[in-house]
Amino acid sequence: AQKVTQAQTEISVVEKEDVTLDCVYETRDTTYYLFWYKQPPSGELVFLIRRNSFDEQNEISGRYSWNFQKSTSSFNFTITASQVVDSAVYFCALSEPSGGSYIPTFGRGTSLIVHP
Amino acid sequence: NAGVTQTPKFQVLKTGQSMTLQCAQDMNHEYMSWYRQDPGMGLRLIHYSVGAGITDQGEVPNGYNVSRSTTEDFPLRLLSAAPSQTSVYFCASSYSLAGVGSGGTDTQYFGPGTRLTVL
């Protein structure tokens, strides 16, 4: 079973629409970390956010916001007023303290296409 | 700062050949990692290092070796290349191991990637 599920393979929106990328994770640990990364068409990877399991506060950074809900094991990512430059593949990842190391497990990614 | 640099950007190998992917960072980060990315997949951790002289295996270490003789450099060696190692390789560094450490604002920086094809 996947530890990180990004059920949306591809999302297509028109510029200025709000869009939410879903991430559902599975872990038995009480201490863990969740991440979001962005990979634009150019291929580089950009780290967006890290959240630890003890901090359920929602995070907002400009047009980006993250909703962490332990009750539903979800860490969703919302882009408000999407722009063409937001077109990218977005990865959610989970890091658990397996054997003392925190080897990350990545979801398969959600491809976001923002049309002008 | 140059950030995280990787060389080469592209490489084609024949099965059985060996090579080293170079990774360097100038941010004095203790933590460095190597990931591979295959089509339609997320990243998978190959090896990581928590400081000079200390390395450990990730999820998919077979066929790869690493060493960390300096804080700046973290080369990845393919011992005998196989077609299954065709992938895009990313090196990353951070002040703390992304996922642990006290730095709540710690950011993980990635290199531009190396696209490797093994024929």
Tens of pLDDT, residue by residue over B4-58, are: 999 999 999 999 999 999 999 999 988 899 999 998 788 899 999 988 999 989 8
β-pairing, A74-79 with B114-118?
unpaired
Across the interface, do B98 and A50 touch by the CB < 8 Å criterion? yes
The model's pLDDT over B93-118, given as tens digits with 9 standing for 90+, comes to 988 765 444 344 567 889 999 999 99
**Residues in a beta bridge with A47:** A37
Q: How far apart are CA B56 and CA B77, in angstroms?
A: 14
pLDDT tens digits, chain A, 116 residues: what are they? 569 999 999 999 999 999 999 999 999 888 888 999 999 999 999 989 888 888 888 888 899 999 999 999 999 999 999 999 999 999 999 988 765 667 788 999 999 999 99
The secondary structure of B44-98 as a DSSP string is EEEEEEEETTEEEE-S--TTEEE--SSSSB--EEESS--GGG-EEEEEEEESS-T
Which chain B residues have a beta carbon less than 8 Å from that of A101?
A: 48, 56, 97
B103 by DSSP, 3-state: which? coil
Across the interface, do A102 and B100 touch by the CB < 8 Å criterion? yes
Instruction: Choose, out of A101, A105, A110, A111, the residue to mutate when testing the contact with B (most B CBs < 10 Å).
Output: A101
Residue pair A43/A37 in contact (Cβ under 8 Å)? The answer is no
Token couple for B61: 């270490």
Token couple for B110: 């990635």
The secondary structure of B7-56 as a DSSP string is E-SEEEE-TT--EEEEEEESS--SEEEEEEE-TT--EEEEEEEEETTEEE
Q: How far apart are CA A94 and CA A51, in angstroms?
A: 10
Alpha-carbon distance values, B20 to B44, B82, B89, B94 (Å): 19, 14, 12, 22
Which DSSP letter does residue A51 get? E
Which DSSP letter does residue A73 get? T
The model's pLDDT over B54-90, given as tens digits with 9 standing for 90+, comes to 998 988 999 999 999 999 999 999 999 999 999 999 9
> Is the link from the previous residue into B83 a cis peptide, with omega within 30 of 0?
no
Across the interface, do B108 and A104 touch by the CB < 8 Å criterion? no
Token couple for B101: 């450490």
